[in-house]
Structure 1
Amino acid sequence: MREKILNILLDKNKEFVSGEEISEKLGITRTAVWKHIKNIKKQGYEIESVTKKGYKIVKCPDLLTPEIVKYNLSTSLLGKEIVYFDSIGSTNDYAKEIAKDVKEGTIIIAEEQVKGRGRMGKYWHSIKGDGIWVSIILKPDIYPYEASFITQIAGASIVKGLKKLGVDSLIKWPNDIIINNKKVSGILTELGAEIDRINYVVVGIGMNVKTIDFPENVKSMATSIRKEGYNLERIDILKEILEEFERLYSNYIENKDKTECIEICKQNSAIIGKYVYVLKGDEKRKVKCIDITENGNLVIINDNNVKEELISGEVSIRGDKNYV
């Protein structure tokens, strides 16, 4: 009921709506409306109440609560069920715990992660309220070996979503999003599967949005949306990403079509045409990146001038001189 009242207030776009109108629409008493309004205020919403006029939202809190995320979210799968935390260890870890028992498209959102991590177990710096820390639970009817392509979908979705908001970014294959040669977002895709069957895929996305000061050990390679000069709301970024993700994901699962996703990854690559270091275990070698295949593999030319394909998830990429 609280979510319905909040939606009515949001629909009015900061205009007054009477308690009588709300009570008639929802079939509850005006006293019940007033009690729900009090609870909505406790969530951080600034609501003005005027006799004979009613209520209007003056300001929404900078939170990624289910009510705010779901409002006007034009998806049919992602975000219909949302689990929200003020603070959590890792959204990906929690998503894996509940994945088998929830619907596909359920997302886990936290204002803070205290044990956030990226690929290869690396720590992810997650400041409370400063970024987007979200995990998406998927249950695609594909073979386990095909799941790695979902990382490419996530990368393409972030780049496309940011571009719609006026932010130009690039993909450092396979899972980092770059602005001005520094990492602004990372993707961690984890799989729960049997030999020939996927039980679930969890796609974790972390993005620095408002952070200005980074710890000494990452400041040379990390940045944020705001640090790069863009004053965007976290909710607008998240909604664009979710909507783009669902579109590209549905096209892949339902139509087996990777074309648009691959094209986005190619056109917005941070490494195609560049020399990079490929890291695998203790091995480190310098190669030139030349293309991305229709399956999302990175095409390189090695020391012997021979072409190779690298599979997402097996290696890490580092720039020849800088981060990229």
Structure 2
Amino acid sequence: MNTNVKDELLKRLFESQGTPISGQEVADEFGLSRTAIWKYIKEFEEEGYEIASIRKKGYVLISSPDRVNAANIHKFLQTKTYGKVIDYYNSCESTQNIAHDAAQAGASDGTLVVSEEQTAGKGRLSRPWNSAAKKGIWMSLIVRPSLIPQQAPQMTLVAAVAVVRAIETVTGVEAMIKWPNDILINGKKMTGILTELQSEPDRVKAIVLGIGMNVNHDEEDFPMELKEIATSLKIESGMEIDRSKLIAEILGFLELYTGMYEKHGFGPIKLLWESYSNTAGKRIRAVMLHETIEGTALGISEDGLLELQLDDGTVRGIYSADIVIKD
């Protein structure tokens, strides 16, 4: 199967907006038989697309299924680079693993790996992530920013700001950021962000940004142990969300804020991040590998560290921890 031809055919069906496209003209353009184009149309129909065949005129797209494939995302995409190349899966173990291998193999800046389902999704510290089929957004973006390795951890915070802005734009729902990588709505988690680095001593080769979002989950979709702590955009907004549109918005804000970080440093991102933080000013417990401390969260440093003021007045910069909000 020539995926490029298939993707291009589907893209044209979307763009034609009800005007028939000629199967013969597409066949001639790509040097294929009319039968080959017809077979692609049949594959689309098997995937849930409704396509009408108009005699002597061509094919018209009547309706499309809820899929986060390239054609659906590209309908909404307005980026220069991010998401222009999309590697789509109906099911995979982990988009992060696929993207990691693709980045090492030289995949271009902005390449997106996205799947309808993950069978072995992972979060921070390799914790499992529940990735229900066709309910959420399970994706990993390969970015190649002009940064030094010490700047890479802040990309988690860049991504967090992009996600909350996209949620706000698409749904009107106000989400908050819990340091370092959780997006919450009404105190419940609906998004996790995982940042993995490929680098040389003096430069970043690639950063793989993994984003897992609970989008169209109903309450019964969550296992019992998650019902009290997890939520979805559908639950919080009361409406079904177009996942492809949300992905396109996330990519747009990610491209915008990554460029801002490259050009102007972390300062502008820090201001944006703190405006959406649910952590600053709260008393928290930070559980680290070798110690647990409590104090008042002041905000984040220019390096993206969580600044915690202890009861004796000293300020600690925390690089990595699980935090529990005490009040």
Both proteins in one fold, TM over 0.5: yes
Q: Do residues 315 (structure 1) and 284 (structure 2) align? A: no
| TM superposition score normalised by structure 1 | 0.90
Distance in structure 1 (CA, Å) of the matches to 2:198 and 2:306: 24
Q: 1:133 to 1:24 in 2, by over 3 A?
A: closer
> For residue 187 of structure 1, what is the aligned residue in structure 2?
193
Shift of 1:318: 1.5
Partner residue of 1:298 out of 272, 283, 306: 306
Q: Do residues 60 (structure 1) and 68 (structure 2) align? A: no
Partner residue of 1:82 out of 63, 86, 100: 86
Distance in structure 2 (CA, Å) of the matches to 1:190 and 1:27: 39
More helix by share: 2
Q: Do residues 150 (structure 1) and 159 (structure 2) align? A: no
> For residue 22 of structure 2, what is the aligned residue in structure 1?
19
1:103-252 matches, within 5 Å, as: 103-165=108-170, 166-212=172-218, 213=220, 214-228=222-236, 229-252=238-261
| TM superposition score normalised by structure 2 | 0.89
Distance in structure 2 (CA, Å) of the matches to 1:103 and 1:182: 35
Shift of 1:76: 1.8
Distance in structure 1 (CA, Å) of the matches to 2:225 and 2:253: 33
> For residue 274 of structure 2, what is the aligned residue in structure 1?
266
Structure 2 residue matching 1:113: 3-state secondary structure: coil
Q: Do residues 5 (structure 1) and 9 (structure 2) align? A: yes
Shift of 1:233: 1.0
Distance in structure 2 (CA, Å) of the matches to 1:299 and 1:27: 58
Which residue identity is paired with 1:225? L
Shift of 1:53: 5.4
Structure 2 residue matching 1:227: 3-state secondary structure: helix
Structure 1 residue matching 2:235: 3-state secondary structure: coil
Distance in structure 1 (CA, Å) of the matches to 2:249 and 2:21: 32
Shift of 1:199: 2.8
Q: How many matched pairs?
A: 317
Distance in structure 2 (CA, Å) of the matches to 1:92 and 1:20: 37
Shift of 1:98: 2.2
Which residue identity is paired with 1:237? L
> For residue 40 of structure 1, what is the aligned residue in structure 2?
44
Distance in structure 2 (CA, Å) of the matches to 1:27 and 1:290: 60
Distance in structure 1 (CA, Å) of the matches to 2:128 and 2:109: 27
Structure 2 residue matching 1:151: 3-state secondary structure: helix
Shift of 1:113: 1.0
1:178-212 per-position Cα deviation (integer Å, ceiling 9, x unaligned): 00100000000011223333332111000001112
Distance in structure 2 (CA, Å) of the matches to 1:309 and 1:132: 32
Which residue identity is paired with 2:264? K
Q: Do residues 284 (structure 1) and 295 (structure 2) align? A: no
Moved more, 256-265 or 131-140: 256-265
Distance in structure 2 (CA, Å) of the matches to 1:39 and 1:74: 28
Distance in structure 2 (CA, Å) of the matches to 1:151 and 1:20: 45
- Listed as ranges, the gaps of 5+ residues in structure 1 are none
Q: RMSD between aligned alpha carbons? A: 2.2
Shift of 1:61: 1.2
Moved more, 188-197 or 269-278: 188-197
Q: 1:55 to 1:222 in 2, by over 3 A?
A: same
Which residue identity is paired with 2:232? S
Structure 1 residue matching 2:52: 3-state secondary structure: strand
Shift of 1:30: 5.5
- Listed as ranges, the gaps of 5+ residues in structure 2 are none
Q: 1:292 to 1:230 in 2, by over 3 A?
A: farther
C-alpha contact (below 8 Å) 2:143/2:207 kept by paired residues: yes
Distance in structure 2 (CA, Å) of the matches to 1:20 and 1:90: 36
Shift of 1:171: 0.4
Distance in structure 2 (CA, Å) of the matches to 1:246 and 1:140: 10
Distance in structure 1 (CA, Å) of the matches to 2:91 and 2:21: 35
Distance in structure 2 (CA, Å) of the matches to 1:259 and 1:99: 28
Which residue identity is paired with 2:279? I
**% of aligned pairs identical?**
33
Q: 1:181 to 1:54 in 2, by over 3 A?
A: same
Shift of 1:261: 2.0
